[in-house]
């Protein structure tokens, strides 16, 4: 009786850019407004002032972070196009050297020199595939998503805003700076811990260590801001 074959399904994490943008936006969105609100709590007792200052920081921070993500993604796209154009020039102007580079790549993977040369010469007959190969295996560059810049900007800004409202919420609800600071610290540190844990799971690192690191960074930033405001005030 023939054994039923179980279909092999490979599971790979393919949302690295999105997760990276969420991590960038959320980590700063939780930490910076939290530190600002804590610092203001050490200097003033007016929760309205703290809230307005926090909202202003969220607005400015989300725009700055989103713009930074946009420019970074555009820079990656422009760099890719420049390198791709250079590779096209080189396979026309110095094809022998480019074939030698392809041969070296295959030899690095353990293929004998003769077989590597055969594959390299065969690949050289297909310019587009040749350039694609060189971009990926010589330069280590993947073609960016053409919508990456706008997507990255929106994701980072949105994550920043979502994270920023968490430490401000207690000040809005309680109307007391001291109690607001206590509840804000508790809620934000819990949120940082959860976020750090999830980030660790998604990125494949130790989730508990990631959670602890995220909480410590946020807590130290807020404590420094509060202490500095108290010292100045």
Please tell me the predicted confidence (pLDDT) of residue 229. Answer: 67
**Taking residues 193-207, what's their average pLDDT?**
79
Residue 159 — pLDDT band, cuts 50, 70, 90?
very high
pLDDT in tens, 59-69: 999 999 999 99
Tokens 């919508």 belong to: 147
195 Cβ contact list (under 8 Å, min separation 6): 26, 27, 30, 163, 214
Distance of CA 194 to the CA centre of its chain: 17
Q: Say if residue 233's pLDDT is above 70.
A: no
What average pLDDT score do residues 156-184 get? 88
Q: Angle of helix 113-123 relative to helix 95-108, nearest 10 degrees?
A: 130
Measured CA angle at 218 (ends 213, 223), to 5 deg: 125
Domain residue limits, the chain: 16-74+147-232, 84-138
184-188 contact pairs (CB < 8 A, 24+)? 184/34, 184/37, 184/38, 185/34, 185/38, 185/219, 185/222, 188/30, 188/34, 188/218, 188/222
The top-scoring range by mean pLDDT among 100-114, 151-165, 190-204 is 151-165
First to last CA, the chain: 83
Nearest of 233, 230, 231, 222 to residue 38 by alpha carbon: 222
Token readout for 209 is 């260590």
Calculate mean pLDDT across residues 3-27: 64
Sort residue 100 into left (φ over 0), alpha (ψ -120 to 50) or beta. Answer: alpha
- Asked whether the predicted pLDDT for residue 13 surpasses 50, the reply is no
Q: Which of 222, 200, 171, 207 is nearest to 52 (CA)?
A: 171
Residue 9 has pLDDT above 70, yes or no: no
Residue 2: pLDDT band (50, 70, 90) is very low
Helix or strand holding residue 123 (H, E):
helix 113-123
Res. 11: pLDDT tops 80: no
Q: Is the dihedral of CA 80, 25, 54, 213 positive or negative?
A: negative
The alpha carbon of 43 is separated from its chain's Cα centroid by a whole number of angstroms, namely: 34
């Amino acid at each position: 009786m023939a054994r039923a074959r179980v279909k092999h399904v490979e599971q790979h994490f393919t949302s690295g850019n999105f997760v990276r943008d969420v991590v960038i936006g959320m980590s700063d969105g939780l930490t910076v407004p939290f530190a600002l609100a804590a610092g203001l709590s050490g200097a003033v007792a007016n929760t309205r002032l703290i809230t307005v200052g926090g909202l202003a920081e969220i607005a400015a921070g989300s725009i700055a972070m989103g713009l930074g993500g946009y420019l970074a993604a555009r820079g990656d796209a422009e760099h890719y196009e420049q390198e791709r154009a250079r590779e096209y020039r080189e396979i026309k102007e110095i094809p022998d050297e480019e074939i030698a580079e392809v041969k070296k790549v295959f030899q690095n993977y353990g293929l004998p020199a003769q077989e590597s040369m055969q594959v390299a010469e065969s690949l050289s007959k297909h310019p587009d595939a040749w350039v694609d190969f060189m971009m990926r295996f010589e330069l280590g560059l993947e073609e960016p998503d053409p919508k990456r810049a706008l997507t990255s900007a929106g994701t980072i800004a949105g994550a920043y805003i979502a994270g920023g409202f968490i430490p401000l919420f207690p000040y809005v609800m309680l109307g007391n700076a001291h109690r607001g600071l206590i509840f804000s610290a508790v809620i934000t540190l819990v949120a940082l811990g959860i976020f750090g844990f999830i980030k660790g799971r998604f990125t494949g690192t130790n989730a508990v260590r990631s959670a602890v690191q995220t909480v410590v960074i946020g807590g130290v930033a807020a404590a420094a801001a509060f202490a500095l405001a108290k010292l100045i005030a």
